[in-house]
A and B are shown apart, each in its own frame.
Chain A
Amino acid sequence: MDVKIELRENSQVFHISGRLNIDGAEKLKKEAKQLAQEKKTNWIFDLSEVIFIDSSGIGALVACLRTAGNNGGDLRLAAPQSEIRTILELTRLHRLFEIHNTIDEAANSFKK
C-alpha cells in the first residue's frame, strides 16, 4: 500500500493505492495521525487505486474517521471500486461514511 497526500485549499487528499490490509492499515493510521497533529483534518481518501481491502483496512478507515472527528474535521471517501463498496455495504459502514464518486465532488462537500 502506498499513500501520497495532496494538500488542497480546504481539504487534504490521501491518494491511496494498492492493497489495504493489516500492513497498509497501520501505515495509513500513522499518516493520518501525523496530519491531525498539524490540525489539517478535512480528509478525502481517494480509493480509486485501492485494489483490495479487508477488515483491517476497513478498521483503519473507521479509526481515521474518528481521528478526524476528534480533531474537528471529517473524512470523506472518494471513488471506491465496486468490490470496495461491496465490503463497505456488507459491514454496514456505507451508513457511516460520506462516499463520493469523485475527489472533486468530495472536495466541494467541504466547502458547503
Chain B
Amino acid sequence: MDNFNIKLPSKLCYLNAVAYFFKECLMQSEKLRDNPQLIYDLELVLSEAMTNAIKYPLVEDAPSIIILNISINDNQIEIAVTDFGKGFDIGAIPEPNFDEFQEGGYGIFIIKSKMDYVAYTINGKSGNTLLLRKKFI
C-alpha cells in the first residue's frame, strides 16, 4: 500500500500542481497505467473534491488548508479530502436537472457517478472529510 499525505493552502491556484502530482502517482500502478479512462476519472474526481473543499467559506478561526490522504494498493484507491469550511449536507444535494442544462451543480453528481463509495462527515473543528473509494477491475 502506498500512502500520500499532503497538506496544502486552501487556494485554487494549487489545483493543477496537485493534479499533475496525483496523475504521476497513479501512473506508477500497473493496473492503472493501461487504463487512461480510469486515470482521467480519478483525476476528475480529485479536482471536483478539491474545488468543493476550497470554495466553501471557512469556519471562523479555522485553518485555511486542505488535507489530502491518498492510499493506493493493487486493488483499490482511497481518497480523503479534509477541509475546515462550513460543510454541507451531501444527501441534500439534488441530482442536476438534465433538462435545464445547468451551468453548475454537477460536481457531486460526477463524484458519485465515478466512485464506488462516497461518504462525507462533518466533524466541527476537526474538519469535514469527503471519503472516496474506487476498486480496480
Q: Which residues of A contact B (CB under 8 A)?
A: 19, 21-23, 52, 54-56, 58-60, 62-63, 66, 82-83, 86-87, 90-93, 96
Bound together, the chains give a CA A62 to CA B110 distance in angstroms of 16
Point out the residues of chain A lying under 8 angstroms from B37, CB to CB.
Answer: 82-83, 86
Bound together, the chains give a CA A96 to CA B106 distance in angstroms of 15
A54 near B103: Cβ-Cβ < 8 Å:
no
Point out the residues of chain B lying under 8 angstroms from A92, CB to CB.
Answer: 98, 101
B40 near A62: Cβ-Cβ < 8 Å:
no
A22 near B15: Cβ-Cβ < 8 Å:
yes
Q: How far is the CB of B131 from chain A (nearest CB, A)?
A: 20
Point out the residues of chain B lying under 8 angstroms from A63, CB to CB.
Answer: 103
What range describes how many residues of B lie at the interface?
A: 20 to 34
Q: How far is the CB of A21 from chain B (nearest CB, A)?
A: 6
Majority secondary structure, A binding face: helix
B110 near A55: Cβ-Cβ < 8 Å:
yes
Task: Choose the segment among B42-50, B59-67, B82-90 that binds chain A (4+ C-beta atoms closer than 8 Å).
Answer: B42-50
B12 near A54: Cβ-Cβ < 8 Å:
no
A59 near B103: Cβ-Cβ < 8 Å:
yes
